[in-house]
Amino acid sequence: MIAKTTQFKQMLTSNQLEFILEAHDGLSAKIVEETGFKGIWGSGLAISAALGVRDNNEASWTQVLDVAEFMSDATNIPIMLDSDTGYGNFNNVRRLVKKLEQRKIAAMCIEDKLFPKTNSFINGEAQELAKIDEFSGKIKAAKDTQEDPDFCVVARIEAFIAGWGLSEALKRAEAYHKAGADALLVHSKKNTAEDIFEFMKEWKDTCPVVIVPTMYYNTPTDEFQDCGVSLVIWANHLLRARIKAMQHTATQIYKDRALTSVENEIVSVKEVFRLQNADELKKAEKVYLPSQQ
């Protein structure tokens, strides 16, 4: 089997548009894989929300890493972990890269904000950006630390989010590319893709570009392909689907004081066992457990 890192690098550098979908635990990661996606976005927003905390580094980096490990163990496709700002300075990034590689996480994405970060869609313009040379040092430190040459470091530019515009975004893109980033994630909170199109017109195919169309979800996907984007992240849609489904089912059971009306709307217990690969354990017991009289 091709290494997860190599799979991810091939997606980034292929000349067709590729897609990864958010997951926030082992189960959702497995569902992403089964559906046919070639990769998984380990979303900081979704992982923290699933843990019941805010997207402000309230979950510690090792708590996030534990979730990523369950996701990685449950799947055979690459995961790019949203590693926020790298949880500190260059030295914290070095340690993080080591731990990600040990857990077979294929790629990390770090963003040029300050620790503790805030989600980009909350008061983005009030958010201070990291200094370009300090953030470039983090990218270089990550690239110098990785042992697998195909491990990918994606540098996320928050210039549009913070209201700095195209020239600042391009300045940062140049610097992060020079520091060794395998790709740039250009983030935007507009409800059209104009920031992305402006950026791509100037940047062309200097290096792969990753986007997150959460707010500009109405833009036809072909337009991303046409402007030269490499990878699209559908960033939080399983989390949001899960919340809606849980709210609906919880309300129904509460109102009915009975299970009849929800039974056919939810998966069977058997389906839960299938996703957990319960059959494998049954087979292993036949091999390893002493047989009963």
**Which is closer to ligand SPV, CB of 85 or CB of 136?**
85
Name the segment binding ligand SPV (CB under 6 A); options: 26-34, 42-50, 139-147, 191-199: 42-50
Catalytic residue among 25, 55, 84, 150: 55
Name the segment binding ligand SPV (CB under 6 A); options: 12-20, 44-52, 68-76, 124-132: 44-52
Q: Report in angstroms how near the CB of residue 13 gets to Mg ion at its nearest.
A: 24
Other CB atoms within 10 Å distance of the CB of residue 131: 11
Residue pointed to by tokens 């040990």: 102
d(CA 209, CA 160): 15
Query: Is 112 one of the binding residues for Mg ion (CB under 5 A)?
Result: no
Q: What is the sign of the dihedral through the CA atoms of 24, 26, 31 and 34?
A: positive
Query: Is 146 one of the binding residues for ligand SPV (CB under 6 A)?
Result: no
Any bridge partners for residue 108, and if so which?
A: 81, 153
Query: Is 85 one of the binding residues for ligand SPV (CB under 6 A)?
Result: no
**Which is closer to Mg ion, CB of 56 or CB of 252?**
56
Residue 153: helix, strand or coil by DSSP?
strand
Buried b (16+ CB within 10 A) or exposed e, 240-269: eebeeeeeeeeebeeeeeeeeeeeeeeeee
Query: Is 69 one of the binding residues for Mg ion (CB under 5 A)?
Result: no
| Torsion angle of C-alpha atoms 182, 187, 193, 198, degrees rounded to 10 | -60
**Which is closer to Mg ion, CB of 45 or CB of 106?**
45
Number of alpha carbons in the 13 Å side-chain half-sphere of residue 119: 16
Distance of CA 263 to the CA centre of its chain: 32
Query: Is 44 one of the binding residues for ligand SPV (CB under 6 A)?
Result: yes
Distance of CA 225 to the CA centre of its chain: 20
Query: Is 119 one of the binding residues for ligand SPV (CB under 6 A)?
Result: yes
Query: Is 236 one of the binding residues for ligand SPV (CB under 6 A)?
Result: yes
Name the segment binding Mg ion (CB under 5 A); options: 77-85, 100-108, 122-130, 176-184: 77-85
Q: How many residues bind ligand SPV (CB under 6 A)?
A: 11
Cα-atom radius of gyration of the chain, to the nearest Å?
A: 20
Interface pattern 17-56 for Mg ion (x via CB under 5 A): ---------------------------xx-----------
Chosen from Mg ion, ligand SPV, none, partner binding at 145 (C-beta under 5 to 8 Å by type): none
**Which is closer to Mg ion, CB of 41 or CB of 151?**
41
Q: Which of 40, 49, 162, 212 binds ligand SPV (CB under 6 A)?
A: 212
Residue 257: phi and psi, rounded to 5, are 50, 35
Q: Is 55 a catalytic residue?
A: yes
Chain contacts with Mg ion (rule: CB under 5 A): 44-45, 82
